[in-house]
């Protein structure tokens, strides 16, 4: 081991000593989400190391009167870290704060239309990810995530964070060596156009229609489906599924099939 690797290992060890995880809470949360129930013991161990480092490096703050409990911190960290289980925490570099509201929060927006008129308004949101800034979450929505409905606001916002690693979110995060930009673009563009056509035709899709907002939202929503209900995404958009397996470097569908994941138990947090 060279001195740099040795220093990094020593630093990581020091961080891990400062953050412990309650074993009962950990087991309950591992049973809570479809994508953690299928993890092997070795993968759970790797996930826990990431979760502890995440909790060391990031500050999770309550807003709007929300008290941040150990269960809330752990639930958010687990869901954030499942995305980077095989990418590493460095993918969340450049920002430190997660802000959690008890419920939907209201943000102000302003835009200038094509006639130069400035419009202002407010919008209720369940989550938000700022470039170089915090991830903001509604706890009511985060706590409701992780069921069988392929909805997960935490995964959604952290997918935006990954997308922002190479600039404005556009559904095109930095790809790994060996991945093809053409193949990625082809898979996502075709699927996006097809999905928008289905909505225009009045179809009631199993995938959240919010995915049609923009290519950035399509990537974030499909990342939710990839982890929450991989069989659904694999059936509907196999080429996108294949690209996400290459990007996230994990295959939740194959993992769930191998582990024969049981249905979701009642909510524990």
* Tokens encoding 128: 């938000």
CB nearer to Zn ion: give 217 or 251. Answer: 217
Q: Which of 137, 153, 220, 244 binds Zn ion (CB under 5 A)?
A: 220
Give the nearer residue to Zn ion in terms of CB position, either 26 or 130. Answer: 130
Q: Measured from the CB atom, is 32 or 161 closer to Zn ion?
A: 161
Output the smallest distance, CB 27 to Zn ion, in A. 31
Q: In this complex, which beta carbon is closest to Zn ion, that of residue 228 or of residue 251? A: 228
Per-residue DSSP letters for 97-147?
EEEEESS-EEEEEEEE-TTS-EEEEEEEESEEE-TTS-EEEEHHHHHH-SS
Distance, CA of 214 to CA of 222 (rounded, Å): 12
Q: What is the distance between the alpha carbons of residues 137 and 135, in angstroms, rounded to a whole number?
A: 7
User: In this complex, which beta carbon is closest to Zn ion, that of residue 51 or of residue 211?
Assistant: 211
Comparison of 127 and 252: residue with beta carbon closer to Zn ion: 127
CB of 194 to Zn ion, least distance (A): 20
Q: Which region among 19-27, 115-123, 211-219, 255-263 touches Zn ion (by CB under 5 A)?
A: 211-219
Mutual angle of helices 70-83 and 41-57, in 10-degree steps: 110
CB of residue 199 vs Zn ion: minimum separation in angstroms?
Answer: 17
- Cβ-proximal residue to Zn ion, closest one: 220
Going by C-alpha positions, the residue among 61, 75, 69 that lies closest to residue 26 is: 75
Q: How far is the CB of 135 from Zn ion (least distance, A)?
A: 11
- The answer to whether 247 and 175 have CB atoms below 8 angstroms apart is yes
Query: Within positions 123 to 152, which residues make up the interface with Zn ion, using CB under 5 A?
Result: none
Candidates 32-40, 82-90, 104-112, 218-226: pick the segment binding Zn ion (CB under 5 A). 218-226
Strand partners, 120: 110
CB 233 within 8 A of CB 245: no
Map residues 159-198 to x or -, x wherever contact with Zn ion holds by CB under 5 A.
Answer: ----------------------------------------
Between residues 208 and 217, which has the closer beta carbon with respect to Zn ion? Answer: 217
Taking the complex as a whole, the smallest distance from the CB of residue 73 to Zn ion amounts, in Å, to 23
Contact 163, 172 (CB under 8 A): yes
Which one of the spans 68-76, 87-95, 215-223, 249-257 is the region binding Zn ion (CB under 5 A)?
215-223
Is there binding between residue 72 and Zn ion (CB under 5 A)?
A: no
Strand-pair partners of 135: 98, 129
Is 21:51 a contact under the CB 8 Å cutoff?
yes
Q: Where are the alpha helices (DSSP H) in the chain?
A: 3-18, 23-32, 34-37, 41-57, 70-83, 139-144, 153-163, 181-200, 215-228, 230-236, 238-248, 252-259
Judged by the rule CB under 5 A, the positions of this chain that interact with Zn ion are 217, 220
């Amino acid at each position: 081991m060279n001195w740099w690797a040795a220093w990094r290992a020593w630093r990581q060890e020091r961080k891990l000593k400062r953050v412990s995880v309650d074993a009962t809470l950990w087991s309950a949360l591992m049973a809570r989400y479809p994508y953690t129930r299928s993890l092997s013991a070795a993968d759970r161990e790797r996930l826990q190391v990431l979760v502890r480092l995440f909790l060391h490096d990031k500050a999770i703050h309550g807003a709007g009167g929300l008290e941040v409990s150990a269960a809330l911190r752990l639930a958010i960290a687990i869901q954030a870290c499942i995305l980077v289980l095989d990418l590493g925490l460095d993918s969340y570099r450049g920002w430190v704060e997660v802000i959690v509201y008890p419920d939907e929060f209201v943000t102000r927006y302003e835009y200038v239309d094509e006639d130069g008129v400035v419009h202002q308004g407010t919008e209720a949101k369940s989550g938000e990810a700022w470039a170089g800034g915090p991830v903001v979450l509604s706890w009511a929505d985060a706590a409701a995530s992780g069921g069988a409905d392929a909805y997960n606001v935490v995964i959604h916002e952290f997918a935006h964070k990954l997308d922002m690693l190479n600039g404005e979110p556009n559904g095109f995060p930095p790809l790994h060596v060996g991945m093809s930009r053409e193949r990625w673009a082809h898979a996502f563009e075709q699927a996006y156009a097809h999905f928008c056509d289905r909505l225009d035709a009045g179809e009631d899709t199993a995938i959240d229609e919010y995915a049609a907002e923009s290519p950035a939202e399509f990537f974030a929503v499909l990342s939710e489906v990839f982890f929450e209900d991989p069989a659904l995404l694999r059936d509907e958009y196999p080429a996108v599924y294949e690209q996400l397996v290459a990007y996230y470097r994990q295959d939740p569908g194959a993992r769930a099939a191998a582990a024969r994941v049981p249905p979701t138990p009642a909510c524990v947090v």
